[in-house]
Amino acid sequence: MSELEKSVPLNWFVLYTAARAEKKVEMRLRDMGIDVYLPIHRIRRKWSDRMKVVDLPLFNSYVFVKCTEHQLRKLLLVYGVARIVYYLQRPAIVRDEEIEAIREFLKIADGKEVIYEGDRVEIVAGALREKSGKVLKVDKKRVTLFLEELGAKIYVSLSEVNKLNKN
């Protein structure tokens, strides 16, 4: 790398990939020595005969790369990269703080099981702590439960319930 290239700042840019090619593009870019970030989250998917946990990109068809703007243009030659994402006629720059926020979000979300209708959960806070029930409905911030021992339907914040394991 020349002295001029060393003085040019490295920024996070966004590449748009072909459909479902994010992981392959990430691997190809990594093999080229490019600093690349593909946020991945785990999700439970239902097949006709079973449930399976799969790793999916947090943002479909997007990968983040840390490089100079000059290097960015060369990345268009990588198989699977469709285009560079632009904002105001310039390649979109993502701040380091935003990349860290995504990483932090995924760290917090990791290990938290997604709650679905029909799951059994335990209340971990409030007056009904340690009571368990069946999930009837899941909204953005709360869950509707049916408590068998009370014969009641209640609303509880999602942060106040934990999924019970099916042992």
8-49 pLDDT tens trace: 789 999 999 999 999 999 999 999 999 999 999 887 677 778
pLDDT at 43: 76
Instruction: Indicate if 85 and 159 belong to the same structural domain.
Output: no
**Structural domain containing residue 146:** 120-163
Q: Where are the alpha helices (H) located in 45-146, listed in sequence order? A: 69-74, 96-109
Instruction: Indicate if 36 and 62 belong to the same structural domain.
Output: yes
Q: What are the Cα distances from residue 110, in Å, to 5, 43, 99, 114?
A: 38, 10, 16, 10
Residue 5 binned pLDDT confidence (cut-offs 50, 70, 90): low
Quick one: residue 96, left, alpha or beta (phi over 0 = left, psi -120 to 50 = alpha)?
alpha
The number of folded domains in the chain is 2
Instruction: Indicate if 17 and 99 belong to the same structural domain.
Output: yes
Q: Structure pTM?
A: 0.70
CB 65 within 8 A of CB 78: no
Instruction: Indicate if 105 and 124 belong to the same structural domain.
Output: no
Instruction: Indicate if 127 and 72 belong to the same structural domain.
Output: no
- CATH code for the domain in which residue 100 is found: 3.30.70.940
Q: Which of 16-20, 94-98, 127-131 is least confident?
A: 127-131
Instruction: Indicate if 128 and 93 belong to the same structural domain.
Output: no
